């Protein structure tokens, strides 16, 4: 197992197109285990493979309080949604910033599990929010894209400053 580096905004690799997973081999299992380890260590409730530079439609999640409900979403698709509401959101690729965005409070998602078996899941609250956030990642989107251009510019500047500081 390994903790993988997480790309941060405005890294252009977070905007690249991701490909559906078609091969469920040992290499994929290792990647999934590494994504879980990285997500739990961060700590975060979700992580998309392309946040770690792997351009596959794969994300891991665990929105439970006691971190006992690991979920793998491969090639996920939202089947139905309920009403939207304002929800506070953060992202491991946009560290130390949170803001409010509109998300569906309930949804039904279809995906493949780590063995390639299809399943459907009803989600609500944080879990529903997380599914939308992760699918956005897989589509090259970040939650900051939904904010005003003023806020977006401020966030980008802050992130670039942070990267400068890290680079020394």
Q: Which is nearer to Ni ion, 3 or 24 (CB)?
A: 3
Residue with tokens 């130390």: 96
Contact 74, 116 (CB under 8 A): yes
- Binding partner of residue 109 among ligand GNR, Ni ion, none, CB cut-off 5 to 8 Å per kind: none
User: CA 161, CA 150: separation in Å to the nearest integer?
Assistant: 17
Active-site residue, 83 included: no
Nearest in space to 38 (alpha carbons), one of 97, 95, 92, 115: 92
DSSP string, 128-156: HHHHHHHHHHHTT--GGGGS-HHHHHHHH
Q: Which is nearer to ligand GNR, 116 or 125 (CB)?
A: 125
Q: Which is nearer to ligand GNR, 28 or 89 (CB)?
A: 89
Q: Which is nearer to ligand GNR, 46 or 76 (CB)?
A: 46
Helices of type H across 42-148 = 125-138
Q: Which stretch binds ligand GNR (CB under 6 A): 22-30, 65-73, 85-93, 160-168?
A: 85-93
Residue from 28, 39, 45, 91 touching Ni ion (CB under 5 A): that is 91
Site for ligand GNR in 22-51 (CB under 6 A): 44-48, 51
Residue from 8, 137, 138, 159 touching ligand GNR (CB under 6 A): that is 137
Q: Which stretch binds ligand GNR (CB under 6 A): 26-34, 68-76, 132-140, 151-159?
A: 132-140
> Rule CB under 6 A: which residues touch ligand GNR?
44-48, 51, 89-93, 129-130, 133-134, 137
């Amino acid at each position: 197992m390994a903790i993988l580096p997480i790309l941060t905004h405005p890294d252009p690799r977070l905007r690249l197109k991701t490909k559906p997973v078609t091969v469920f081999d040992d290499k994929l299992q290792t990647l999934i285990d590494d994504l879980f380890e990285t997500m739990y260590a961060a700590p975060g409730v979700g992580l998309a493979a392309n946040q770690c530079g792997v351009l596959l439609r794969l994300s891991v999640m665990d929105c439970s309080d006691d971190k006992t409900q690991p979920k793998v979403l491969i090639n996920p698709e939202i089947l139905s949604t309920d009403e939207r509401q304002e929800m506070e959101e953060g992202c491991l690729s946009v560290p130390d910033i949170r803001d409010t965005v509109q998300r569906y409070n309930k949804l039904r998602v279809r995906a493949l599990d780590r063995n390639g078996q299809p399943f459907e899941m009803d989600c609500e609250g944080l879990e529903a929010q997380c599914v939308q956030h992760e699918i956005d990642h897989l589509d090259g989107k970040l939650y900051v894209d939904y904010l005003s251009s003023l806020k977006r510019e401020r966030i980008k500047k802050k992130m670039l400053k942070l990267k400068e500081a890290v680079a020394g």
